[in-house]
Amino acid sequence: MNVALIGLEGHQSAMLEGIVQLHDVQLVAVASDNPDKLQAVKRSPAVTGDTWLYADWRELLEQHDLDVVGVCTVNGERAPVLLECARRGVHILSEKPLVTTLEDLATVRAAIEGAGVRLSMLMTMRFEPAFKKMHDLLRQGTIGEPVAASAQKSYKLGDRPEWMRDRATFGGVIPFVGIHALDLVRWTTGCEFTEVAAWHSNVAHPEIRDMEDNASVLLRMANGGTATLRIDYLRPTMAPTHGDDRLRVAGSEGVLEVLGDDRRLTLMTHDQGPYAVAPDPEEQFFVEFVRSLRGECAHRISAADAYRLTEICLQARAAADEGRIVSLAPVREHPSR
């Protein structure tokens, strides 16, 4: 299986780490217009003496016959890459969000569906053992009907590249970071959303310009329940970890929660006080994706997920930009539940 990677701006490590576990998958080529990143990627064990490096992604696609392309470009420059991959009939593993405008989403979706290629998106948190275990317990009905959910993503700001400081290239923290929080709630509960309200702003960090340092999102669930997403780049420099990721779902029969720097999963029900649940070992993201391409399993993140998550985040961003509640279109495909 011939694999290429276009862009080195995101979660490409999930792909690179998988490739080295797959003896019949080759990283044929990598493209990045960032010379430093292209130089640095040579240190990855997935990059061999047979791997071609390109500054221009169009040249990469022209030169190689590929089965899969990972697209980890700058957010605002992803749409043309996705369209070209679809046109060439190559399966796609995309960074999130898929694109940064609803217009691009419609165009890209039509192209990918028309081409019949497979699409998944790098929602890597679904492969973190605590969240996966929480998903499994929720879907088994361990806490009954999900009623109220909340997720937090709090990151250290650190140094941010120039492309994140412009809305046109970045897209906003709700599509970029909030999409993880949204996905955690939607995926673990299996609940769809019907309406969204949100606000975002940059209160304390003028140096990052368009990039928001905080966002809060309010969602109405299809079953009538409610959810909130909290996103900030305010995690202190001295915090023990980069991200303070949390997920709490309160259901009719109990509460499940991932909380703390050790990402501890706690279950509490009407029958039993709180106790820590040990997660199961998880498969590697890209290894599962390749297995799904071979028909051995479904991948954890479907194309429908990629479209819907991107859509909701872009609608939430519109809600925040315009100060209004946005009704979400009914889903074409429901998440399995």
Residues that bind a copy of itself (CB under 8 A): 144-145, 147-148, 150, 152, 154, 195, 197-205, 213-218, 220, 223-228, 230, 232, 234-240, 250-255, 268-274, 323-325
Q: Nearer to a copy of itself by C-beta: 221 or 290? A: 221
Q: How far is the CB of 264 from a copy of itself (least distance, A)?
A: 12
Q: How far is the CB of 181 from a copy of itself (least distance, A)?
A: 12
Integer-rounded Cα Rg, in Å, for the chain is 20
User: Nearest to residue 213, comparing CAs of 266, 165, 173?
Assistant: 173
Instruction: Give the DSSP per-residue string, 105-170.
Output: HHHHHHHHHHHT--EEE--GGGGSHHHHHHHHHHHTTTT-SEEEEEEEEEE------GGGGSHHHH
Q: Nearer to a copy of itself by C-beta: 41 or 326? A: 326
Amino acid at 30: V
Q: Nearer to a copy of itself by C-beta: 110 or 203? A: 203
Q: How far is the CB of 185 from a copy of itself (least distance, A)?
A: 11
Q: How far is the CB of 158 from a copy of itself (least distance, A)?
A: 12
Q: How far is the CB of 259 from a copy of itself (least distance, A)?
A: 8
104: tokens are 């691009």
Q: How far is the CB of 243 from a copy of itself (least distance, A)?
A: 13
Contact 195, 218 (CB under 8 A): no
Q: Nearer to a copy of itself by C-beta: 220 or 291? A: 220
Contact 69, 278 (CB under 8 A): no
Q: Nearer to a copy of itself by C-beta: 63 or 226? A: 226
Q: How far is the CB of 327 from a copy of itself (least distance, A)?
A: 9
Residues contacting 45, CB < 8 A, separation 6+:
16, 20
User: Nearest to residue 127, comparing CAs of 8, 286, 304?
Assistant: 286
CA distance 203 to 9: 26
Q: Nearer to a copy of itself by C-beta: 213 or 305? A: 213
Q: Nearer to a copy of itself by C-beta: 259 or 287? A: 259
Rounded to a whole number, what is the distance in angstroms from the first to the last CA of the chain?
A: 32
